[in-house]
Amino acid sequence: GKWSGDAIRRRFLEFYAARGHKILPSSSLVPDDPTVLLTIAGMLQFKPIFLGKEPRRVPCATTSQKCIRTNDIENVGRTARHQTFFEMLGNFSFGDYFKKEAIAWAWELATKEYGLPAERLWISVFEDDDEAFNIWHNEVGVPKERIKRMGAEDNFWTSGATGPCGPCSEIYYDFYPERGSSNADLGDDSRFIEFYNLVFMQYNKKDDGSLEPLKQKNIDTGMGLERMACIIQKVPNNYETDLIFPIIEKAASMAMVSYDKADDAIKTNLKIIGDHMRAVVYLISDGVIPSNIGRGYVVRRLIRRVVRTCRLIGIRGDVQGNSEGAFLPSLAEVVISLSTEIDPDVESRRKSILGELQREELRFVQTLERGEKLLDELLDEALLCAGNNGNKPSLSGKDVFLLYDTYGFPVEITAEIASERGVTVDMKGFDIEMENQRKQSQAAHNVVKLSVGNETEIVKSIPDTEFLGYDSLSASAVIKG
Ligand code: ATP
Ligand code: MG
Ligand code: MG
Ligand code: MG
């Protein structure tokens, strides 16, 4: 029969447990680490061990780690393989085994346990990593033409601007082997999907960018659970796996549309809902409350985006038909019903998660409706003004920014509504306003830094880090100044 996502997760953990790894729980999405805002990878909870700052408790471990990558937000629903929330399965060696075993086990897991055909698997190695190349070719038996040497961008992994890092080797799955190997490009995501990354963690990247060899050679790996489920369940994307699809089906039924019959735009919106609902439920469960700073702003922005997306496809009010009611709680219920093996604590926090979502949704809808009123007035003005002086009606960058910044009004929506009334928006002007705000918050942050003048104090102030918008909110270096 078909593998469920839960079964894939279990098999991974059991495979490594049978090879001496201790199964450990996922850590919180809120990391105990000042260099990143949210947990972006399985290695984060082990960073002090990799750096030699803490003694290892076991020689090797395996986990299924909840992760958030806000830098992938624009990819959600657009690529088949990216979510903001995903689970990363990992096996870790703390100075115990190294390349040879990591490679051999990853291959055995993929081909024997999950039964992927060997001839569909492709390998990338860091450009000058002959050792890894030779293990893949000579010991595992992968033909040379299916092992690609790639540059640092893909095959030198770092968790952030500083910290443990090293060359890596990735395993890709080929959806179309019939296309042959002569012109194959692993970056072509209509053909290949990267699912497993093996990091040979042997350096510490310092503030000045230099690489200092670690005392021990470590292994840090990550396999995307939803990606493996996508491959094994033979569905076109991560969203149609049993890990996410029930949320999409719920949203589709609330919008009274059918996913299968929907056009691409609606499908993308449903995928955004499927992803963001998971992200906000797990973030709130881990104690992140919507606010205007740091992590709180990440969750607020995700909630706003999912509310707007739901309204866009016609979801209004709650399932009881109360038009003033909130709809996020009904969607969150589905996320919670799927949570048992991802995070057993979520179920027990159900009430507060639903309450928080309901409060935030209703608050945002109010703001949104106030913004709609203001936008109407601004459009009236623009049309009147243009009529008087014979110019083309246009909304200034300042106004668009006001709607965005104060009323949480997304620029695309402003542009859309404006164009319905024949008014253009000054996007250049808007970008300038955004840039000004960015500079101001940067300056404010620098002032804080100077006046504190003490490294550890700066570190403590991280939860208050100013949110600078999605553009600048990369998964790693979110600390500005
Ligand atoms: P990609 O190149 O596809 O963006 P990546 O190289 O950024 O992936 P890694 O940092 O190597 O990813 O993370 C290890 C694994 O985690 C990946 O091989 C993939 O299976 C999974 N993964 C990474 N990012 C995502 C995401 N946004 N959504 C789902 N799975 C992900
Ligand atoms: Mg990526
Ligand atoms: Mg990659
Ligand atoms: Mg990778």
3-class secondary structure, 183:
coil
What is the pLDDT of the chain when averaged over all its residues?
A: 90
Q: Are residues 150 and 19 in the same domain?
A: yes
* Res 207: pLDDT: 92
The gap from C-alpha 428 to its chain's centroid, in whole angstroms, comes to 29
Closest-CA residue to 387 (of 414, 423, 420): 423
The per-residue b/e assignment along 294-322, b for 16 or more CB within 10 angstroms, e otherwise, is: bbbbbbbbbbbbbbbbbebbebeebeeee
Q: Which residue has the higher pLDDT, 365 or 221?
A: 221
pLDDT (mean) for 217-235? 98
pLDDT (mean) for 227-241? 98
Q: Which residue has the higher pLDDT, 475 or 161?
A: 161
The gap from C-alpha 357 to its chain's centroid, in whole angstroms, comes to 20
* Res 325: pLDDT: 86
Whether 198 and 219 have beta carbons less than 8 Å apart is answered as: yes
For residue 418, tell me if it sits in a domain.
Answer: yes
Whether 481 and 442 have beta carbons less than 8 Å apart is answered as: yes
For residue 85, tell me if it sits in a domain.
Answer: yes
Alpha helices in 18-114 (DSSP H): 47-50, 99-108
How many other C-beta atoms can be found within 10 angstroms of the C-beta atom of residue 358?
A: 17
Choice among 31-40, 48-57, 355-364, 441-450 with the minimum mean pLDDT = 441-450
Ligand with minimal distance to 194 CA: 1
- 471: which 2 tokens? 């553009």
Pairing of strands 424-425, 394-395: parallel
Quick one: pLDDT band at residue 334, thresholds 50, 70, 90?
very high
Question: Ligand 1 centroid vs 41 CA: distance in angstroms?
Answer: 9
- Interval 97-136: pLDDT, tens: 999 999 999 999 999 999 999 999 999 999 999 999 999 9
* Res 443: pLDDT: 65
For residue 239, tell me if it sits in a domain.
Answer: no
Q: Which residue has a Cα nearest atom 23 of ligand 1?
A: 224
Tell me which residues have their CB closer than 6 angstroms to ligand 1: 69, 72, 81-83, 86, 88, 194-197, 222-224, 226-227
Q: Please give the Cα distance from 153 to 155 (Å, whole number).
A: 6
Quote the domain boundaries for residue 436. Answer: 430-472
Residue 294: pLDDT above 70? Answer: yes
Whether 94 and 60 have beta carbons less than 8 Å apart is answered as: yes
Quick one: pLDDT band at residue 410, thresholds 50, 70, 90?
confident
**DSSP labels for 99-116?**
HHHHHHHHHHIIIIIS--
Q: Are residues 37 and 146 in the same domain?
A: yes
Q: Are residues 385 and 274 in the same domain?
A: yes
State how many domains the chain has: 3
Residue 81: pLDDT above 90? Answer: yes
Q: Which atom of ligand 1 is nearest to the CA of 189?
A: 3
For residue 381, tell me if it sits in a domain.
Answer: yes
For residue 478, tell me if it sits in a domain.
Answer: no
Q: Which residue has a Cα nearest atom 4 of ligand 1?
A: 82
Quick one: pLDDT band at residue 153, thresholds 50, 70, 90?
very high
Pairing of strands 192-205, 85-93: unpaired
Q: Which residue has the higher pLDDT, 286 or 419?
A: 286
Q: Please give the Cα distance from 432 to 194 (Å, whole number).
A: 37
* Res 126: pLDDT: 98
pLDDT (mean) for 8-29? 98
pLDDT (mean) for 144-168? 93
Q: Which residue has the higher pLDDT, 152 or 413?
A: 152
Q: Which atom of ligand 1 is nearest to the CA of 72?
A: 27
* Res 445: pLDDT: 53
Question: Ligand 2 centroid vs 83 CA: distance in angstroms?
Answer: 10
Q: Are residues 217 and 274 in the same domain?
A: no
Q: Which residue has the higher pLDDT, 63 or 316?
A: 63
* Res 369: pLDDT: 86
Outline where DSSP puts E strands in 175-228: 192-205, 211-224
Residue 95: pLDDT above 50? Answer: yes
Ligand with minimal distance to 67 CA: 1
DSSP helix, strand, coil percent of the chain (3-state; round to 5): 50, 15, 35
Q: Are residues 408 and 450 in the same domain?
A: no
* Res 454: pLDDT: 32
Q: Are residues 210 and 168 in the same domain?
A: yes
The per-residue b/e assignment along 42-81, b for 16 or more CB within 10 angstroms, e otherwise, is: bbbbbbebbbeeeebeeebbbbbbbbbbbbbbeebbeebb
- Interval 170-185: pLDDT, tens: 999 999 999 999 989 9
* Res 479: pLDDT: 29
Whether 262 and 8 have beta carbons less than 8 Å apart is answered as: no
Which of 200, 232, 264 represents a domain boundary (last residue)? 232
- 88: which 2 tokens? 């990363």
Whether 242 and 4 have beta carbons less than 8 Å apart is answered as: yes
* Res 478: pLDDT: 31
For residue 251, tell me if it sits in a domain.
Answer: yes
Q: Are residues 292 and 398 in the same domain?
A: yes
Which of 205, 232, 259 represents a domain boundary (last residue)? 232
Whether 216 and 93 have beta carbons less than 8 Å apart is answered as: no
User: What is the identity of the amino acid at 371?
Assistant: G
Which of 181, 208, 232 represents a domain boundary (last residue)? 232
* Res 405: pLDDT: 86
Question: Ligand 3 centroid vs 194 CA: distance in angstroms?
Answer: 6
Whether 442 and 479 have beta carbons less than 8 Å apart is answered as: no
Q: Which atom of ligand 1 is nearest to the CA of 196?
A: 18
pLDDT (mean) for 432-441? 86
pLDDT (mean) for 33-44? 93
Quick one: pLDDT band at residue 481, thresholds 50, 70, 90?
very low
Residue 258: pLDDT above 60? Answer: yes
Q: Which residue has a Cα nearest atom 8 of ligand 1?
A: 194
pLDDT (mean) for 189-208? 96
Task: Please tell me what DSSP assigns to residue 476.
Answer: S
Q: Are residues 132 and 166 in the same domain?
A: yes
For residue 480, tell me if it sits in a domain.
Answer: no
Element (H, E) at 92: strand 85-93
Q: Are residues 201 and 262 in the same domain?
A: no
Quick one: pLDDT band at residue 474, thresholds 50, 70, 90?
very low
CATH number of the domain bearing residue 14: 3.30.930.10
For residue 238, tell me if it sits in a domain.
Answer: no
Question: Ligand 3 centroid vs 153 CA: distance in angstroms?
Answer: 8
Whether 126 and 156 have beta carbons less than 8 Å apart is answered as: yes
* Res 411: pLDDT: 83
What is the percent of the chain where pLDDT is above 90?
Answer: 78
Question: Ligand 2 centroid vs 157 CA: distance in angstroms?
Answer: 11
- Interval 125-134: pLDDT, tens: 999 999 999 9
- Interval 362-389: pLDDT, tens: 999 988 888 889 999 999 999 999 888 8
pLDDT (mean) for 76-89? 97
Burial class (CB in 10 A: 0-12, 13-18, 19+), 142: buried
How many other C-beta atoms can be found within 10 angstroms of the C-beta atom of residue 331?
A: 27
Q: Please give the Cα distance from 175 to 74 (Å, whole number).
A: 24
In the Cβ-directed half-sphere of 377, how many Cα atoms lie within 13 Å? 8
Q: Are residues 206 and 288 in the same domain?
A: no
Ligand with minimal distance to 75 CA: 1
* Res 453: pLDDT: 30
* Res 456: pLDDT: 33
Q: Please give the Cα distance from 87 to 65 (Å, whole number).
A: 5
Q: Which residue has a Cα nearest atom 26 of ligand 1?
A: 82
Whether 84 and 279 have beta carbons less than 8 Å apart is answered as: yes
How many other C-beta atoms can be found within 10 angstroms of the C-beta atom of residue 472?
A: 14
Residue 199: pLDDT above 50? Answer: yes
- 392: which 2 tokens? 């083309």
Task: Please tell me what DSSP assigns to residue 208.
Answer: T
Q: Are residues 326 and 207 in the same domain?
A: no
Q: Which residue has a Cα nearest atom 19 of ligand 1?
A: 224
How many other C-beta atoms can be found within 10 angstroms of the C-beta atom of residue 34?
A: 16
* Res 413: pLDDT: 77
* Res 367: pLDDT: 86
Q: Are residues 198 and 299 in the same domain?
A: no
